[in-house]
Structure 1
Amino acid sequence: MRSADRVDLVLRDVALPHLEDGHGGAGAGYRVDVAVHDGRVVAVEASLSLRGVCEYDGHGAALLPGLHDHHLHLLATAAVAGSVDCSDATTLDELGARLRAGTPRAGWVRAVGHHEARVGRLTRDLLDALMGPERATTPVRVRDHSGALWVLNSAALAALGPLPDTPDVERDGSGRVSGRLWRLDHELGARVGRTAPDLAALGAELARLGITGVTDATPDLPRATVDLLDGARRTGALPQRVHLLGAATAAVPETLTVGPAKIHLRDHDLPTVDELAARVTAHHRTGRPVAVHCLGVEALVLTLAALEDAGHVPGDRIEHASVVPPALLPRLRATRVQVVTQPGFLSARGDDLVRDVGAAEQAWLWPWAGLRAAGIPVCGASDAPHGPLSPWQVIAAAADRRTPSGRVVGAGERVPASLALGGYLTHPEAPAGSVRRIVPGAPADLVLLHGPLEAALAGVPANPVRLTVVAGRVVHDAG
């Protein structure tokens, strides 16, 4: 490209930090100009003479590859904006007041963030009492903080109609539905007739945080959801690149990409080892790795046994691994899987987690350093909306492991903030692999910070992103 040519974008005087492969430490790097044209980086040199249609002076601030969140749930995160937030309710009276004040959408009150260990166990009858006679006909559904459980009142159950006779639908001794429904998100969505959540608002928020790509880890995505995401990508409402775990390969249009096949294990209804191994083998035979949802220790042991039977293919993943006893580390390493974990839960609700698990397990919650020391590839992600969306909060949580009250949980599992950042800079196909580089020919997914990387990793400011670029297009400019 001649010096007289004009390119789409030039970022002048930016610092490219030195980020080691394997998510190692970060160095100060060197200062350059970066030119972007037709969606790709075309030049990285000191004092470029190229002119850009758009130009930004970085004043020596850090320029990073765009951040990729390797595990979240797009529609559920977008839907939070239209839901009643119950995350800070500490009593049933507070919960009831929030629900009664909630504005119905499409006729329903939708609430999120309820924590049973803090507030109490909900059933249809208790929700009926909390809503009172004046709101008895308003359908209400409340999602538990874990994302696994919905609790519906009687009006909501009547609106839904008959429910399947499966372990996912809790019933009392007489066979009456208790209102507690496990992992029935898609069926609920289809029956409720919900309006599409605002993906444009979510896309703008992701861009504000420096996120240029996401891996949606929602299992068993229906075609309607894939079409909705496709439409948001085509219109630019959702500018981020989208990688799907829960979609069939044949159903994915060109605006989206597909990753390992999501296998969601229900802790209350686990399959046998043979059943899970057969599911893994079926995916492997099509050339597709698997991403297995493992929260509890029992699910992790089951998954390890199934992977040992089925064998390994590159790209196999374990999602969460929220509790990993040290005795399981050799088996986990032998499976050669990557682990995508969520230390942000510690900063968001670590005090609740500590209360819910035994003292011995607290040191093994959301492990990272121990996995890495054992030779197990690992990176972090948000699991939004169940965990905090901000990558900077997740990175800080991995480094300090502090709960909201300031308590440190599992200090031995701390990792440097630069290492935690590295996981957000990897390819979606290899979340615990090599950091992407800003070099000629690379996709122009970029994040310019307000200042040096060291300040960002120290949490100053809380969101250090000045400019976000996806495929060469500026999608966020903080000025």
Structure 2
Amino acid sequence: MLIRNVELAPGERIDVRIDGARIAELAPQLAWHAQERVFEGGGAALLPGLHDHHIHLRALAAAFASVHCGPPQVTDAAALAAVLRAASIRLAPGQWLRGIGFCESVLGAAGIDAIDRDWLDELVADRPLRIQHRSGRLWLLNSAALDALAPTADAPLERRNGRWTGRLYDADDWLRMRLRGAPPSLHAVSRWLARRGVTGVTDTTHHNGPEALHAFAAARASGELLQQVRVMGDARLDAQTDRPGAQRGEHKFHLHAHALPEFDALVAAIRASHDAGRAAAFHCVTRTELAFALAALREAGVLPGDRIEHASVAPPELVEVIAALGLTVVTQPHFIAERGDDYRRDVDAADQPWLYRLRGFLATGVGLAGSTDAPFGSADPWAAMQAAIDRRTPSGAVLGAAEALTPAQALDLFLAPLEAPGGAPRRVAVGEPADLCLLDRPLAAALRAPTQVEVRLTLVAGQVVYTREDADVPDYPRGSSGMPESQGCA
């Protein structure tokens, strides 16, 4: 392919030749070769393809086929009832109805305890219904769902007066085993990401094992998954190696402040993965989780590539430890844009300056990378860039203004290699992989308004995976309007 008249830097127009999977030539004007496909850039910016360094692909695929049950689409109990009943009518008899993004604010002052199986039965009684809380840690089940799951006495479901309430906390593995359904196809999700210029992702699902690594490699080989993929998971991946199309990623430790693992066992697990040449990644959305993870890493010793996911609350004293240990932070700036007003109301005022920090990490030399955590946040990286720049909540308030990035810094969050988040951003250069995205406007215009950017062309390993002119991709809503919201800080 020959891509003509594109901008690599403001005011720098150039032609780019792709040969196989790599960039072969760059010059102000290149002659056309016979049989070469030509794409006219029109002076728009050509970038390395974006990398989402923290995403959950299968959950995102399931979310695309689910009913959104929380803000901004659903803000009260009447609206929740309406969307569930409307969705139920469209399903075949007995088919499960799956909701996502539920927030207790929908119930007003009643709170989460107001929802139980009986309340859900009033909304949908004729089919199994399960609704996921926006945190990703709680499922709400109606009576038909409980009957279909047929729980035994030792099931991890909440009981009240000896009866299942329909609330299931931190038990996705149990639910997955009971449902025993085939995993959702990645076809639509992958093409939606390509439409946004995403050419690489790190799936950070903590229970991924060898079968997940194999499944992602198979999805890449079949064309179901277009993006390069790095696969985090549990200790079972220590003995695995990279597969064609799928890199073995870090050992993901999913901490919960209320049930932290035994410290010495955690240190031993970190060391075992390090001995296998595998870095560690820690889910940290509270101050307690972050302090615990840092203590464990200090005791175990740090391997290059060890990283903190989210770092939702990062006070200065812990940022100093992160910097001293040489860790990378992978964060989600759009959580401020999606949940910032709730944070202003619910998070301790002393912690609010340290929410989803950006500039504070860069100022101390911490490697920082961007991601979406989709489906627990919007899957649109351009919305995340906008949030990193303006730090505005849904109501328009600014939260953590001192943490805002320049537009160029916000873009760089999504340009690092998958294996080195927070490292030097990739650039369009001869010999580099032809993982590219061509925008619809010059770079300066794109950086002024990231959420207005459209992608015209996306390449992965030199292969066209999306063109706006030939697009046959579902136009799912962009930003927080179309995706579940984040797990936030609690």
State the TM-score, normalized to the length of structure 2.
0.88
1:63 aligns to 2:55 (yes or no): no
Q: Distance in 1 between matches of 2:363 and 2:266?
A: 28
Aligned-residue sequence identity (percent) comes to 43
Q: 366, 372, 375: which one pairs with 1:376? A: 366
- 1: CA distance between counterparts of 2:131 and 2:384? 26
Any conservation in 2 of the 1:283–1:290 contact (CA below 8 Å)? yes
Deviates more, 1:270-279 or 1:427-436: 270-279
Number of residue equivalences: 458
**In the alignment, what sits opposite 2:14?**
32
Q: What is aligned with 1:13?
A: 5
Aligned counterparts, 1:24-423, within 5 A: 28=10, 30-51=12-33, 53-88=36-71, 89-103=74-88, 104=91, 107-119=95-107, 120-122=110-112, 126-132=116-122, 135-162=124-151, 169=156, 171-172=158-159, 174=161, 176-246=163-233, 248=237, 250=240, 253-423=243-413
Letter in 2 for 1:54: R
More deviation, 70-79/45-54: 45-54
Q: For residues 392-432 of structure 1, give each alpha carbon's deviation from its aligned partner in whole angstroms, at most 9, with x where no partner exists.
A: 10000001001111111111110112111112111011110
Q: For residue 199 of structure 1, what is the amino acid of its counterpart?
A: L
Shift of 1:198: 3.5
| In 2, Cα distance between equivalents of 1:450 and 1:218 | 33
Between the aligned partners of 2:450 and 2:361, the Cα distance in structure 1 is 29
**1:395 corresponds to which letter in structure 2?**
M
Q: Distance in 2 between matches of 1:411 and 1:284?
A: 37
User: In the aligned structure 1, how far is the partner of 2:217 from the partner of 2:225?
Assistant: 9
SS at match of 2:350: helix
Counterpart among 422, 440, 450 of residue 432 in structure 1: 422
Secondary structure (helix, strand or coil) at the match of 2:101 reads: strand
Q: Is the 8 A contact 1:294 1:320 kept in 2?
A: yes
With over 3 angstroms needed to count, the CA separation of the structure-2 counterparts of 1:225 and 1:152, relative to structure 1, is farther
Per the TM alignment, residue 223 of structure 1 is displaced from its structure 2 partner at its CA by 4.9
Offset at residue 170 of structure 1 (A) = 5.3
CA distance in 2, matches of 1:282, 1:416: 40
Code of the aligned partner of 1:409? L
Distance 2:75 2:224 in 1: 36
**219-228 or 55-64, larger mean C-alpha shift:** 219-228
Residue 150 of structure 1 deviates from its aligned partner by 1.5
Distance 1:388 1:478 in 2: 21
Residue 359 of structure 1 aligns to a residue in which SS? coil
Name 2:488's counterpart in structure 1: none
Distance 1:431 1:446, change over 3 A: same
1:140 CA displacement: 1.4
Partner Cα distance (1:160, 1:428) in 2? 38
Q: Corresponding residue for 2:484?
A: none
Does structure 2 retain, via aligned residues, the 8 Å contact 1:330–1:374?
yes
What amino acid maps onto 1:131 in structure 2? D
Q: Does structure 1 retain, via aligned residues, the 8 Å contact 2:251–2:279?
A: yes
Q: Is the 8 A contact 2:251 2:273 kept in 1?
A: yes
> How far apart are the structure 2 equivalents of 1:461 and 1:324?
27
C-alpha distance 58-164 of structure 1, shift in aligned 2 (>3 A)? farther
CA contact (8 A) 2:382 2:450 kept: no
Query: Is the CA contact 1:100–1:131 (under 8 Å) kept in the aligned structure 2?
Result: no
**Letter in structure 2 aligned against 1:113:** G
Alpha-carbon spacing, 1:286–1:259, altered in 2? closer, same or farther (3 Å): same
Q: Is the partner of 1:204 in helix, strand or coil?
A: helix
Alpha-carbon displacement from aligned partner over 1:289-335 (angstroms, at most 9, x marks no partner): 10111111110111111111011000000000001112222222122
Regions of 4+ moved over 6 Å: none
Q: 1:122 to 1:138 in 2, by over 3 A?
A: farther
- CA separation in 2, counterparts of 1:53 and 1:190? 50
Assess, with a 3 A threshold, how the Cα gap between structure 1 residues 165 and 368 changes in structure 2: closer, same or farther: farther
User: Matched residue of 2:377: which SS?
Assistant: coil
Secondary structure (helix, strand or coil) at the match of 2:308 reads strand
Maintained 8 Å contact 1:118/1:352: no
Q: CA deviation at 1:179?
A: 2.8
Deviation at 1:354, TM superposition (A): 2.2
Aligned residue for 2:354, secondary structure, equals coil
Q: Is the 8 A contact 1:99 1:131 kept in 2?
A: no
1:15 maps to a residue whose letter is E
Deviation at 1:121, TM superposition (A): 3.9
Cα contact 1:139–1:159 (8 A) shared by 2: yes
Name the SS for the 1:32 alignment partner: strand
Query: CA contact under 8 A between 2:120 and 2:141: conserved in structure 1?
Result: no
In structure 2, distance between residues paired with 1:61 and 1:152: 49
Q: Distance in 1 between matches of 2:409 and 2:401?
A: 16
Supply the AA of the counterpart residue of 1:53.
Answer: E
**Shift in alpha-carbon separation, 1:251–1:153, aligned structure 2, 3 A:** farther
Alpha-carbon displacement from aligned partner over 1:215-272 (angstroms, at most 9, x marks no partner): 0011112555444433321121221111111161527532211121111112331123
* Residue 165 (structure 1) shift: 5.1
Aligned to 1:5: none
Matched, 1:441 2:423: no
Q: CA deviation at 1:460?
A: 6.0
**1:151–1:230 distance in 2 versus 1, CA, 3 Å:** same
CA deviation after TM superposition for structure 1 residue 176, in Å: 4.6
> What code does the residue aligned with 2:40 have?
D
Q: 1:223 to 1:278 in 2, by over 3 A?
A: closer
Partner Cα distance (1:414, 1:173) in 2: 46
1:82-107: CA deviation from partner (whole Å, max 9, x where unpaired) = 11111232223332333333335772
Change (3 A) 1:163 1:271: farther
Q: CA deviation at 1:154?
A: 2.9
Deviation string 1:344-389 (CA, Å, 9 cap, x unpaired) is: 1111222223222122222111111111112211121110111111
Once the two structures are TM-superposed, the CA of residue 155 in structure 1 deviates from its matched residue by: 2.5
Residue type of the partner of 1:75? R
Going from structure 1 to structure 2, the CA distance change for 1:165 and 1:278 (only over 3 Å counts) comes to: farther
Could you tell me which amino acid in structure 2 is paired with residue 138 of structure 1?
R
1:273 deviation in Å? 2.7
